[in-house]
Structure 1
Amino acid sequence: MHIQLIRHATLKITFGGQTFLVDPMLSAAHTLPTTPNTPNPVENPLVELPFSVEEVLNGVDAIVVTHTHPDHLDAEAVNKLPKHLPLFCQPPDEEKLIQLGFEQVIVVADEMDWQGIRFQRTGGQHGTGEIGVQMGPVSGFVMTGEGEPTLYLAGDTIWCEEVEQAIGTYQPDVITLFGGAARFLVGDPITMTKEDIAKVAQAASDSQIVVAHMETWNHCLLSRKELREYVAEKNLSAQVHVPEDGEGIDFQ
């Protein structure tokens, strides 16, 4: 298995002989509006893609969309993605994705098999209280395949009971987390904080963890530097990986 961070939540994952593009957001820097009511009111995304859109899309066999917030599926991705590719999603997003023109929307309601790969959907909480409700439903996905490590794509979630249950149930070898501690001017963070990431590492002590979703969107306040320093203090550096945009990691 190979996991490459493209930018923000966009990952390119080679698994079971297939290449998946996860949560594609392909806009050029500063071409999307700021997320309002946040401490850092600047236009998104904050940085450019590490390479061309054509290179991002090269070799992609299928798409995974954890949810359809614009930092996980933007208009540029909708325009550029080949519409015939299989697209895996959570049930609430099926109709929207069909209306956007995708021809092969595959809903993972619970679990399903595709090309020798099993997908199992997990829950999460995209924040707490009323903000969490307003953020809408989000999902993660566990992927298993012969000869591959078990991969848990946690999606946009904080540390919560659903994440703890997924770790206990599936015992993943590799976990991808969306960090950044994204937040608004009021309320709690809506994605993983550094403390949340440490809790995941403690609960999944045998798992390797890849953290993305940082330094690209205006309401993500946790930087790579701060997270790396924190995991070093907690003696988690060998377990928690914080890649740069464009960086890839192999897992056996």
Structure 2
Amino acid sequence: MLNKTFTCSLALSTALIAGSASADSTSQETAQQLQQIRNATVKISYGDTTFLIDPMLAEQGAYPGFEDTYRSELRNPLVELPMPAEEVIDDADAVIVTHTHLDHWDAAAQELLPKDIPLFAQNVADAELIRSQGFSNVRILDGDAEFGGVQLHKTGGQHGSDAHYAIPELAQALGDVMGVVFEAPGQKTTYVVGDTVWRDEVERALERYNPEVIVLNTGAAEVTGFEDDPIIMGKEGTLRTHQAAPDATIITVHMDAVNHMTLSRNELADYVQEEGIEDHVVIPADGEVISF
């Protein structure tokens, strides 16, 4: 079933490329690509500007499993990178860290990335932490910003349900998160939703920006004691996102790479097929490049 979904992915990419190719040859539109690296780590390229998002670059098994989470006995990451870490960062013009949890910003990324690379963080606390790790060009994405001809818009979310955040210790551990909308002339508006469950903030961002591409973290991660109450979206979140933005292409990531994810690519592929939304949902393999 997963192979069929990948076939849909390739067909969708081909259609999008063909649509782009039909534009006037004098147009200044430039290529737009998204590459799934591993976990929530993706690269988004708008023409000559490439953003590396939420880099987790360690070798397989480098870290213990997250305590008090699903399958915490497993070591993270569960799989290797699809290419050398140096290749992941080689063409990155800027980094966006949606939050500083290990599976979005790890020690390997901190060691390998150039310390002067432009880096966007969600708030003062995260920016100060990243600066303390030796990075000198840290910017707070507080609302809107511009980089390399691309407009960046910060969006909100919540890294779990209200039940999770009713417990102070858990709320502190889950912390704040952000999503980011990317806009540029001649490019498809792209919304990286981030580590959040379905929330009003997500719905408002969909209504406001009307994205044509949505990158959705869909691993349905769980903490102990909250079974069936994930801290990020899963199958149902994918369906709700499609229902709210039926014309958008949803690219699903953050699966099969860290211990507390309860939803696999195969399971999601079966679900989107059952719901009849497979033409709108792309489930990329690690390393896969999708062009628009």
Shorter-normalised TM range: over 0.9
User: Does residue 251 of structure 2 align to residue 210 of structure 1?
Assistant: yes
Distance 1:52 1:101 in 2: 23
Q: TM-score, normalised by structure 2?
A: 0.84
Give the alignment partner of residue 48 of structure 1, picking from 73, 80, 93.
80
What residue is the counterpart of 2:55 in the other structure? Answer: 24
Root-mean-square deviation over aligned CA pairs: 1.0
Distance 1:130 1:161 in 2: 16
**Deviation at 1:115?**
2.2
Query: 1:16·1:116 contact (CA, 8 Å) conserved in 2?
Result: no
What residue is the counterpart of 1:120 in the other structure? Answer: 153
Give the alignment partner of residue 121 of structure 2, picking from 57, 71, 89.
89
What residue is the counterpart of 1:66 in the other structure? Answer: 98
Offset from partner CA, 1:35-92 (integer Å, 9 cap, x none): 1122312111100001111111121111111100000000011000111111011114
Say which is worse superposed, 130-139 or 97-106, in terms of deviation. Answer: 130-139
> Secondary structure of the residue that 2:164 maps to in structure 1?
helix
Distance 2:280 2:42 in 1: 19
Amino acid at match of 2:239: A
What residue is the counterpart of 1:138 in the other structure? Answer: 177
**Deviation at 1:130?**
5.0
User: Does residue 272 of structure 2 align to residue 241 of structure 1?
Assistant: no
What residue is the counterpart of 2:236 in the other structure? Answer: 195
Distance 1:39 1:19 in 2: 34
Q: Percent identity?
A: 45
What residue is the counterpart of 2:23 in the other structure? Answer: none
Distance 1:42 1:69 in 2: 17
Aligned length: 251
Amino acid at match of 1:140: G
Give the alignment partner of residue 70 of structure 2, picking from 20, 30, 39.
39
**Deviation at 1:16?**
4.0
Offset from partner CA, 1:189-246 (integer Å, 9 cap, x none): 0011100111001101111110100000000010000000100111111111110111
What residue is the counterpart of 2:7 in the other structure? Answer: none
Offset from partner CA, 1:140-184 (integer Å, 9 cap, x none): 011101111101010101111110110011100101011110001
What residue is the counterpart of 1:155 in the other structure? Answer: 194
Amino acid at match of 1:10: T
Q: What stretches of structure 2 of length at least 5 have no aligned partner?
A: 1-31, 166-170
Query: 2:37·2:82 contact (CA, 8 Å) conserved in 1?
Result: yes
Amino acid at match of 2:56: M
Offset from partner CA, 1:97-154 (integer Å, 9 cap, x none): 1111111111111112222211110000100135342301000011101111101010
Q: What stretches of structure 1 of length at least 5 have no aligned partner?
A: none
Amino acid at match of 2:211: P
Distance 1:117 1:39 in 2: 38
Give the alignment partner of residue 181 of structure 1, picking from 220, 238, 245.
220
Q: Which structure carries more relative contact order (alpha carbon 8 Å, separation 6+)?
A: 2
Structure richer in helix, relative to its length: 2
Larger Rg: 2
Amino acid at match of 1:117: V
Distance 1:227 1:163 in 2: 20
Amino acid at match of 2:46: F
Distance 1:97 1:131 in 2: 26
> Secondary structure of the residue that 2:268 maps to in structure 1?
helix
Say which is worse superposed, 108-117 or 136-145, in terms of deviation. Answer: 108-117
Distance 1:213 1:249 in 2: 16
User: Does residue 43 of structure 2 align to residue 4 of structure 1?
Assistant: no
